[in-house]
Amino acid sequence: MLPNPYAPGELPRVLAGREQQQDRIRGYLSRIGTYGEMGGPLLVFQGPRGVGKTSLLREAQRDAEAHGFITAWVACRRNAPFLPDLVSRVGKAIETADILPRSEKGGWRLRLESIGLEFGLPSVVKVSAKAAAERSSAEAPPRGAQISALEDLLHETGTRVRDHGGAGLVVFIDELHAATRDDLAVLLNAMQNLAGRREENPFAVIGAGLPSTPGVLVNAATFGERTTFLTLPRLEPAAAAAAVAEPAAELGVDWTPAALHAVAAEAQGFPYLLQVLAHATWEVAQPSAAGEVLGIDQVHAGLPRADDQLTAMYAARWAAATDLEKQIMAVMAQAGSPTVTRAEIAEALGRPTQALGVPRDRLIDKGIIEPAGRGEVRFTMPGFDRYIRETLATGAAPDADQAPGRLGAGRRRRQLPPASDAGRDTPRR
Ligand SMILES: Nc1ncnc2c1ncn2[C@@H]1O[C@H](COP(=O)(O)OP(=O)(O)OP(=O)(O)O)[C@@H](O)[C@H]1O
Ligand SMILES: [Mg+2]
């Protein structure tokens, strides 16, 4: 039996349709590689859950390492500082790469430890009694000291990497929308200061986050708006087909054009949905050897399985919402249009618009809905609105067994070409 090559919720085997973004990142990094100077301001990819931000960044990390960069990766979590993690990851990265000559290693480790102390990282070096007393008297680590410690870290790591034949340092920060404001302010200030001496600072910071990220950054420091924001779009039809076809092709298994078309139409360019649908089709078909072909029948047969997975995800999202959040989502789901204005929501709920600001922002924060132009919002993932309508219609979260599925419910026949369309359903070679 062949292994299932699809990866719902994990890194994809084939990153399809992101050439433009990858080129953009390479251009950004080539400045460091060629001139040894700072890549530019913070570069951030924003987009809803499941659109492929982490996957893109991980691929960029691999690519950067293949081009001689040392990299560090951190993911922000709500209410937890990310700088301590960043400092220790940068320290580990340079150690793992093993680029320092033995004579420098000891000194660098001490240096890292003293920088780490500013971020509350424990040290194996004995802190002098005086320094310890000073630290415990201060409630939080002083912001100014953290900024200059972070500057030192980024500057010294980047130049050390370069001194020893590497290209420079790249720091990746995922889930940037969840970063604490204090830590972001320190990062932005440090980068701003280092930009003044760009030719001495061979590093870059690349991040990703939900569509709320720009607001979070500007809120942390006014010049957060100097960040380069790039929106990560859904996949174009050709890329969506490649995302499904290529992992199978690597195992010698083909999809018929009709089957590919059906999956792509159902997923609407959403990478996560593509993976779920392709994974389910494969599970049902269980191809056992190269040369087998996945057709439309198997896509159909896989739908209930894909439905189950999506239903579980939507049910978890719905259950985690507050009453007011549910009311907002209910209005949106029943509006009959893809986008809804704040005023429409307020009117439907009989409340002033301002009263809905907080729950609305929380839904955006969680990546469930996203801003869509002036005062408008929409759901981020196709299918959730239908789930909500069904949930409301049955008075409870629909059971996957009896309720019409997310991917079915009369849509199935309309969207998927019928199985008898056998003429077109021939292998793609
Ligand atoms: N370009 C792509 N080609 C094929 N599959 C992809 C692509 N990008 C992402 N995927 C798949 O889509 C799913 C979601 O990807 P990923 O976790 O990178 O999204 P994300 O934007 O980081 O989501 P979240 O906001 O929830 O962290 C994964 O199953 C991944 O394998
Ligand atoms: Mg992610």
Q: What is the CATH number of the domain that holds 399?
A: 1.10.10.10
- Which pTM does this prediction carry? 0.86
Q: What is the CATH number of the domain that holds 38?
A: 3.40.50.300
In this structure, the answer to whether residues 47 and 150 fall within a common structural domain is yes
Question: Can you give the C-alpha Rg of the chain in angstroms?
Answer: 25
- Tell me, yes or no, whether 98 lies in a domain: yes
Q: List, for residues 221-232, the tens digit of each pLDDT value.
A: 888 888 999 999
Task: Find out whether the beta carbon of 50 lies less than 6 Å from any atom of ligand 1.
Answer: yes
Mean pLDDT over each residue of the chain, to the nearest integer: 88
At residue 404 the predicted structure's pLDDT band, cuts being 50, 70 and 90, is: very low
Strand 228-231 and strand 203-209: the pairing is unpaired
Tokens at residue 404, please? Answer: 């019409």
State whether the beta carbon of 177 lies less than 6 angstroms from ligand 1: no
Comparison of pLDDT for 305 and 400, the residue scoring more: 305
State the DSSP string of 149-215: HHHHHHHHHHHHHHHTT--EEEEEEE-GGG--HHHHHHHHHHHHHHHTTGGG--EEEEEEE-TTHHH
Ligand 2 center–CA 223 separation, angstroms = 25
Domain membership flag for residue 4: no
pLDDT of 99: 87
Asked if residue 54 has its Cβ within 6 Å of ligand 1, the reply is yes
pLDDT of res. 130: 54
Residues 138 and 170 both lie in one domain = yes
- Tens of pLDDT, residue by residue over 366-382, are 889 988 888 899 998 88
SS (H, E, C) 330-398: HHHHHCCCCCEEHHHHHHHHCCCHHHHHHHHHHHHHCCCEEECCCCEEEECCCCHHHHHHHHHHHCCCC
Residue 415 to residue 409: CA distance in whole angstroms: 11
**Do 259 and 296 meet the contact criterion of CB atoms below 8 Å apart?**
yes
Who has greater pLDDT, 153 or 411? 153
Which of 54, 172, 368 has most ligand 1 atoms within 8 Å of CB, for mutation? 54
Question: Letter for the amino acid at 155?
Answer: H
Boundary (domain end) residue, out of 210, 231, 252: 231
Q: Are strands 228-231 and 69-75 parallel, antiparallel or unpaired?
A: unpaired
Q: Are residues 191 and 304 in the same domain?
A: no
Residues 123, 84 contacting (CB under 8 angstroms): no
Confidence of residue 417 (pLDDT cuts 50, 70, 90): very low
Look up residue 223 and give its two tokens.
């010049």
Dihedral through CA 318, CA 319, CA 325, CA 326, nearest 10? 60
Ligand 1, atom 26: closest residue by C-alpha: 49
Place of tokens 């033995």: 102
Q: Which residues surround ligand 2, an ion (CB under 5 A)?
A: 53-54
**DSSP three-state, residue 223:** helix
User: Same structural domain for residues 226 and 245?
Assistant: no
Task: Give the ligand 1 atom nearest the CA of 232.
Answer: 21
Q: Do residues 151 and 159 make contact, with C-beta atoms less than 8 angstroms apart?
A: no
| Nearest Cα residue to atom 14 of ligand 1 | 50
Q: Is the CB–ligand 1 distance for residue 309 below 6 Å? A: no
Nearest protein Cα to ligand 1, atom 15: 52
Task: Please give the tally of structural domains in the chain.
Answer: 2
Q: Is the CB of 5 under 6 A from ligand 1?
A: no
Does residue 285's CB lie within 6 angstroms of at least one atom of ligand 1? no
pLDDT digits 0-9 by tens, 86-118: 999 999 999 888 888 999 999 999 999 999 999
Does the beta carbon of 273 lie inside 6 Å of ligand 1? no
Closest ligand 1 atom number to CA of residue 51? 21
Q: What DSSP designation does 82 have?
A: S
Residue 110: the pLDDT is 92
**Do 194 and 291 share a domain, yes or no?**
no
Cβ(207) – ligand 1 distance below 6 Å: no
Q: Is 94 in contact with 104 (CB distance < 8 Å)?
A: no
Considering the domain architecture, whether residues 198 and 277 belong to the same structural domain is answered as no
Which whole number is the average pLDDT over 378-402?
Answer: 76
**Residues in Cβ contact with 414 at an 8 Å cutoff, skipping those fewer than 6 apart:** none
User: Measured between alpha carbons, how far is 213 from 229 in angstroms, rounded to an integer?
Assistant: 9
Buried b (16+ CB within 10 A) or exposed e, 36-58: bbbbbbbbbbbbbbbbbbbbbbb
Residues 6 or more apart from 340 whose CB is under 8 A from it?
Answer: 331, 332, 376, 377, 378
What does the pLDDT average to over 113-127?
A: 79
Domain-ending residue, one of 231, 263, 284: 231
Q: Specify whether 152 is located in the same domain as 173.
A: yes
Ramachandran region of residue 9, left (φ > 0), alpha (ψ -120 to 50) or beta?
A: left
Poorest-pLDDT segment among 46-55, 131-140, 142-151, 332-341: 131-140
DSSP code for 102: H
Distance in Å, CA 15 to ligand 1 centroid: 9
Summarize the confidence of residues 254-274 as an average pLDDT: 95
Instruction: Reply yes or no on whether the pLDDT at 195 is more than 70.
Output: yes
340, part of any domain: yes
| Together in a domain, 172 and 288 | no
- Which residue segment(s) compose the domain that 203 sits in? 19-231
Q: Does residue 221 form part of some domain? A: yes
**pLDDT mean over 65-94:** 95
**Per this entry, what is the length of the chain?**
429
Alpha-carbon separation of residue 309 from 41, 173, 248, 303 (angstroms): 39, 28, 21, 10
- Do 338 and 223 fall within a single domain? no
Half-sphere exposure of residue 196: CA atoms within 13 angstroms, side-chain side: 6
Asked if residue 107 and residue 167 are part of one domain, the reply reads yes
CA dist 174 and 57 (Å) reads: 8
pLDDT tops 50 at residue 28: yes
| Within-domain flag for 350 | yes
**164 and 295 co-located in one domain:** no
Q: Is residue 42 part of a domain?
A: yes
Classify residue 397 as left (phi > 0), alpha (psi -120 to 50) or beta: beta
Same-domain check for residues 68 and 84: yes
Q: Candidates 55, 263, 313: which one to mutate for ligand 1, based on the most atoms within 8 Å of Cβ? A: 55
The dihedral formed by the CA atoms of 8, 9, 12 and 13, expressed in degrees to the nearest 10: -60
Decide if 100 is inside a domain.
yes
Last residue of a domain, one of 200, 231, 262: 231
Q: Could you tell me if residue 12 is inside a domain?
A: no
- Residue 318 Cα distances to 38, 183, 308, 358, 372, angstroms: 43, 31, 15, 17, 21
Buried b (16+ CB within 10 A) or exposed e, 328-356: bbbbbbebeeebbbbebbbebbeeebeeb
Report the residue among 272, 313, 369, 381 best suited for mutation to probe ligand 1: largest number of ligand atoms under 8 A from its CB: 272
Give the span between the Cα atoms of 32 and 397, in whole angstroms.
52
What gap in Å lies between CA 154 and CA 83, rounded to an integer?
12
